[in-house]
Amino acid sequence: MDILDKIIAAAFKFFAKKEKRPRRNNAPKKHLKMKRPASRRSPKTAKKRESRKGSRSVPKPKSKKSVKKLLKKNAAPKKSAIQEERIGAITHYFSRIQVVVIKLTKELKVGDKIRIKGNSTNFVQLVKSLQIESVDVKAAKKGELVGLKVEKNAKEGDLVFRLK
């Protein structure tokens, strides 16, 4: 019986929970996520890590003058000289009938080529018909609310430009 009591006591010591001491604030955390070995990483993660290792696409400039030179070198080429004139903004969009209401800041006529531009919108179309309070008109003046049928979706707040 004496041996059996020793085995039980040893088992209790082995399986007993250890007392948790409070961890100091600056002590490292032991439960941080471990990195997977390279053989078990996904191909995307492996590529990202390889690309980060030591390649820099743009050298670090040493002075303000060199910054300006780098900006000039890496600047995108200028677009062709298509002139646009802002003529208004969309105040409402009726999605079922694809009609926008535009508050005009300049004159607009039937036959003008316009661009509707916003965060997710950018398209060009010809003005085929204009309506002011459900009446067809050939031209609209500054300050009027105009209805216009559009070919693509638009959003409230998108800007309207006339192409010259």
pLDDT digits (tens, 9 = 90+) for 110-133: 999 999 999 999 999 999 999 999
Q: What is the mean pLDDT of residues 54-59?
A: 55
Q: How confident is the model at residue 35 (pLDDT cuts 50, 70, 90)?
A: low
Residue among 91, 109, 108 nearest 100 (CA): 91
The order of strands in the sheet holding 84-94 is: 122-126, 113-117, 159-163, 84-94, 99-104, 145-149, 130-132, 135-137
| Fold adopted by 84-163 | Elongation Factor Tu (Ef-tu); domain 3 (2.40.30)
Mean pLDDT of the chain: 77
pLDDT at position 140, please?
93
Pairwise pLDDT comparison (4 vs 89), residue with the higher score:
89
pTM for the model stands at 0.51
Classify residue 56 by its DSSP letter.
-
